[in-house]
Chain A
Amino acid sequence: MNVLTEVAVEKKLNPMTKESNIKMRGKDVTVHYGEKQALFAVNLDIPERQVTALIGPSGCGKSTFLRCLNRMNDTIDSARVGGNITLDGEDIYDPKIDVVELRARVGMVFQKPNPFPKSIYENVAYGPRIHGLTRNKAELDEVVESSLKKAALWSEVKDRLQESGTGLSGGQQQRLCIARAIAVSPEVILMDEPCSALDPIATAKVEELIDELRANYTIIIVTHSMQQAARVSQRTAMFHLGYLVEEGATDKMFTNPDDKRTQDYITGRFG
């Protein structure tokens, strides 16, 4: 094989790996709930427009870390957050930061679908309205429609927008919550076990949705399903007892992880 062919083969085998900007960055993040320390000096970069999965056994700190990213822990009195978290290089715990605006930029979808007891339309329109994102009814209609379309729910609900959001099936409710999160044009979407209350078909729809949303949003998902983490994410971070054990490309994490604790956890060997 001459040098030219070798270069050509090398190029074919290793197409340029796409570089990604860091959207959010956690540096030495610690969390205490009262006396109890829940998170120990976690350093984790969240790449832009990729799905990052946080995995680990119950109580490992993955949800705690997720909740730090849009300051949801502020709502718990005993919680104290240390270290530094940035969004586009900006410290989100800076006193000058408007938390309401932060949570519009960093949206959240919860474990159990929690639509407001209002119409489907109002569920999605609520955010843009209170944030003053639209000037008139026509614009609001447009935001509601595009958000429902992006959440892959539009075709199922377009004829009954005035019906109550709580009347939808579990999977539809969860996609409604995703539409609600998208409606305020967030940059980052946090998902805390978004499929744990859904059946396999609804789960598949949400996973498909996550894959589509990745083109425009940075997504961080906490999941107990190894297969789900392997399917939907590009990066995976493994937590254990409050420590970040290992972080890396999902493909590697699920075929050949470096840390024994990751290995034990993903192969079902945790004692």
Chain B
Amino acid sequence: MGEHTVASFDEELEHIDRLLRDMDELAAAMVAAAIRALLASDNAMAQRVVSDDTIMDARQRELDDSAITLIAKRQPMAQDLRAVVGAIRMAGDLERIGDLAKNIAKRVSAVGQSATPRNLSHGIDAMADLVLEQLRGVVEHYVSRNADALKELRAADERIDVKYTAVFRELLTYMMEDPRNITACTHLLFCAKNLERIGDHVTNIAENSYYVVTGKQLPADRPKLDETTMSAPAT
């Protein structure tokens, strides 16, 4: 795409893209740190995630302000308009991802107090890897305007859902085996649920990005495997 006749218009759009990238990097760092803190019972690291959320909120407000000012000043059209409105929505999803990471971090001390065998959280570790891969990819594909990659990324959320179902069953088994596990496992279950929700927000971002890039909406229904829809816990 060529440059605007008014150069500062380009700068303002780039500023919004940059904020979006910053928020995405911060979101990924928060999720990664929250999971590391959870697995290593590292309360200090968990505390940092909680305070990072304040930065995330500030970034979102800055992005909102920039976008509103740009609309008022430039009255963007076509792909510019889609980019600005899309950025506002994506920033909302990223902010929510920050909240969910914070929520995981807040559970670290509760899980750490119980004598939870490390293997209980193994499934969560694998799930977090999938989520982080998605989260880091989505804004990268958006910034490089890669519509096909966004479409694939959206479909890949399926893997997270499948993993979540597996973790759900696994934790349930531990709880049945030994009721002393219930507190820790319930917290871990919420953590898994948070990761699954983060995956959904990434999916939203991918859908938004796809619309910004192509001007077309992806079909509302994502293909789902029958097995998971039948037996998945309430989502």
Contact = CB atoms under 8 A, between A and B. Distances in A.
Given A268-B9, A269-B3, A255 B80 contact: no
Contacts of A264: 2
B1 interface: yes
Interface residues of A, number: 16
Interface residues of B, number: 18
A256 B4 contact: no
B78 A267 contact: yes
B176 interface: no
A257 B4 contact: no
A263 B2 CA distance: 10
Interface in B1-30: 1-6, 9
Contact of B2 (A230, A266, A269): A269
Nearest to B1: A269
Contacts, number: 45
A33 interface: no
A264 B4 CA distance: 8
B216 interface: yes
Contacts of B4: 267-269
A254 B9 contact: no
Contacts of A230: 77
A157 to B, nearest CB: 33
A58 to B, nearest CB: 14
Contacts of A254: 77-78, 81
B79 A263 contact: yes
Interface in A210-232: 226-227, 230
B76 interface: yes
Interface of A is mostly: helix
Interface string A237-271: 00000000000000000111100001110111111
Interface in B78-108: 78-82
Nearest to A225: B75
Contacts of B75: 226-227
Contacts of B78: 254-257, 262-263, 266-267
Nearest to B81: A255
Given A263-B79, A268-B6, 9 more contacts: A226-B77, A227-B75, A230-B77, A255-B81, A256-B78, A256-B216, A257-B78, A267-B4, A268-B77
Interface of A: 226-227, 230, 254-257, 262-264, 266-271
30 contacts: A230-B77, A254-B77, A254-B81, A255-B77, A255-B78, A255-B82, A255-B215, A256-B78, A256-B82, A256-B215, A256-B216, A262-B78, A263-B1, A263-B78, A263-B79, A264-B2, A266-B77, A266-B78, A267-B4, A267-B76, A267-B77, A267-B80, A268-B4, A268-B5, A268-B9, A268-B74, A268-B77, A269-B2, A270-B5, A271-B2
State the 7 A-B residue pairs at the shortest beta-carbon distance, nearest first: A256-B215, A266-B77, A269-B2, A267-B80, A268-B4, A267-B77, A267-B78
